[in-house]
Structure 1
């Protein structure tokens, strides 16, 4: 999947293309769409679709109309229409699959105001494009200094230059509304370009910057996740997770998007369980639900006057007690139900079936081996025969 620029450099260290998932070969790009219609020919008499998908920095993609019928393929660098001047991007999708993508993103392909593709990028266009991208880090550092000098409560997270270098878009995050009119004047004077400020959310900031999550893999938002759905604390409650913000929050400071991945499975399983506020009426008193194991089908109940002593019941036993309570029948106690559950010993001793070494073999430092024929102080020892003669 990686391109040649993602290979290793000197000393075996990864070299990397330093494009944050937007390298030019379209082999390791995030949000890349596989063209599964590329090997299929069009029916007789049907003209090819005249719109293409072009990707710019990070995950920004837009659709353009190929009015001049230029022969384009995935990976071509093209000059596209912009509000003023032109922009430079990489073609990521062509053909009939673009129509599907436009319908999915609710873009009207018949709209006459759809921007156009001017030409394939010339060498001069590419040189200007690469030169302005190389100075983005320096401009970002300087813009942060200007924002701090004005005392603005905002964080400039990323900068994107237009392909011709005439415009720069600054992406920032802020908790409250920020008056950056003076900041725009200072940056326009310092960088001599047109300035556009665009506020993004904290999730969008994490997707642009990228990183490694607590699972050890790349962030979902920077690799494949395109829609940022709201995540509530109820998602953690349904999955019986402790409400610990340090474990449930991602690098963006918000709740992790992966809390929604398995939520539907938990909600389907919870349909068979009674609500946690339903109490069990017994001869010994009322019992309250303390804990639920959704996938094993166990529930723990405790009497109201003795909350420290929990009784483990199965889902069938709880439904049986609830049905009896509906008919004004009280069971003697939860102990008679809990005693019927046979505990299975699930603990198994570790077996080294593949012949691996001990996992703690590196805990103890290795002893240095003495050189052959040398003592503790490093001096050569006398031969044994000569030592015997001296004796």
Structure 2
């Protein structure tokens, strides 16, 4: 029993399709082959076989997936078949020029990109680009009467046009779409923004006039790497106070910071995280201990003994607010006033943090009004301290 082989065949204009081969062994790569086509036969060359063909069939846009290909490869091409295919190269250009004259005579706004004769000359396919919908029914009748064959017009995009015509990109190599890229995925301006590239269309566009396909190759790496870094423009509290994130270097894992005074420094990502976490932990511990110490300093010996009993013991996990709530009415007025002083100290600390942020934004040039407000708040800070 002969088992069919899956092969991928490449045609003119970088067009590829999958066929089944009934021979015992698959044909060699780049071998000329005759395949079953639409109402006839066509000429192509073997592009991939075996496991590679199966992988490409499941992942390519022109692949048939898990279903077997609908057409078969008939036989290997002979010398006469290859000679006839070479003659079609000149006939394709003649057909395109003749069709362009018919387009002008019909007054159609369309650009004929390429013409492709089927190997047996039973069909002529014309590829064109147009910005709007084109009614080419009259053109098809004129071309059918002129070439005496079946005419098929296909509208393609500018990316597909570059894929069919091929060429050399600014990198000095053949277009990715024409050489190896299986699918032409859309590329938007957000991809260039994530990679911090120039947003000038002339610098990031290919020969087709659209954004280059290679912008998507490393986009996922940039997205995953930037999640580790703080956002640019965010204000962080470090060992030097409040600093603004200026830029992030994802390759060397470094962050550039700027203080209120305008001093900049470059610090490693690991060191920055350690500083930020250390400042948060120290601020929380200092705030809680400071209030508790302020309260206990005003308590007399009798009140301290009362708090040590089981009746007035502070529940596990209670904060400063819990300590103030469990203090009975027998506590003197000095205790209540000290608790109020502790809470007011916390509020002043929060206000100073907000004022510090406003001063930093004023120093960045947000406006003269904010700078004036921060200058007025400066004496009040000195009185608080």
**TM-score, normalising length: structure 2:** 0.62
User: Do structure 1's residue 107 and structure 2's residue 64 form an aligned pair?
Assistant: yes
Q: Give 2:215's match in structure 1, choosing from 246, 250, 259.
A: 259
CA contact (8 A) 1:53 1:98 kept: yes
Q: Give 1:202's match in structure 2, choosing from 158, 163, 183.
A: 158
**Which protein is richer in helix relative to its size?**
2
Whole-angstrom CA distance in 2 between matches of 1:321 and 1:68: 69
User: Do structure 1's residue 133 and structure 2's residue 86 form an aligned pair?
Assistant: no
User: Do structure 1's residue 221 and structure 2's residue 177 form an aligned pair?
Assistant: yes
Whole-angstrom CA distance in 1 between matches of 2:26 and 2:252: 59
Whole-angstrom CA distance in 2 between matches of 1:157 and 1:310: 58
Shift of 1:169: 1.0
Q: The residue matched to 1:58 in structure 2 has which SS?
A: helix
Shift of 1:67: 4.9
Query: Which residues of 2 match residues 240-259 of structure 1 at below 5 A?
Result: 240-259=196-215
Alignment length, in residue pairs? 285
- Bigger Cα displacement from structure 2, 128-137 vs 238-247: 128-137
Q: Give 2:264's match in structure 1, choosing from 298, 307, 311.
A: 311
Q: The residue matched to 1:86 in structure 2 has which SS?
A: strand
CA contact (8 A) 1:129 1:165 kept: no
Whole-angstrom CA distance in 1 between matches of 2:180 and 2:38: 29
CA contact (8 A) 1:48 1:95 kept: no
Q: The residue matched to 2:13 in structure 1 has which SS?
A: coil
> What is residue 177 of structure 1 aligned with on the other side?
133
Shift of 1:322: 5.2
**Aligned residues: CA RMSD:** 3.7
Q: Give 2:42's match in structure 1, choosing from 87, 107, 119.
A: 87
1:297–1:65 CA distance, 2 compared to 1 (3 A): closer
- Structure of larger gyration radius: 2
Provide Cα deviations, 1:50-100, integer angstroms capped at 9, x if missing partner.
Answer: 443322113222233345779844344333222212222223344565445
Q: Give 1:273's match in structure 2, choosing from 205, 214, 229.
A: 229
For structure 1, the 5+ residue unaligned runs are: 1-45, 335-391
Q: Give 1:187's match in structure 2, choosing from 143, 151, 161.
A: 143
Query: Which residues of 2 match residues 116-131 of structure 1 at below 5 A?
Result: 116-122=72-78, 125-131=81-87
Q: Give 1:59's match in structure 2, choosing from 2, 6, 14.
A: 14
Provide Cα deviations, 1:182-201, integer angstroms capped at 9, x if missing partner.
Answer: 22222223333211111222
Whole-angstrom CA distance in 1 between matches of 2:115 and 2:258: 58
Query: Which residues of 2 match residues 1-391 of structure 1 at below 5 A?
Result: 47-67=2-22, 72-95=27-50, 98-105=53-60, 106-107=63-64, 111=68, 114-122=70-78, 125-280=81-236, 288-300=244-256, 311-314=264-267, 315=269, 319=273, 323=277, 324=279
**TM-score, normalising length: structure 1:** 0.61
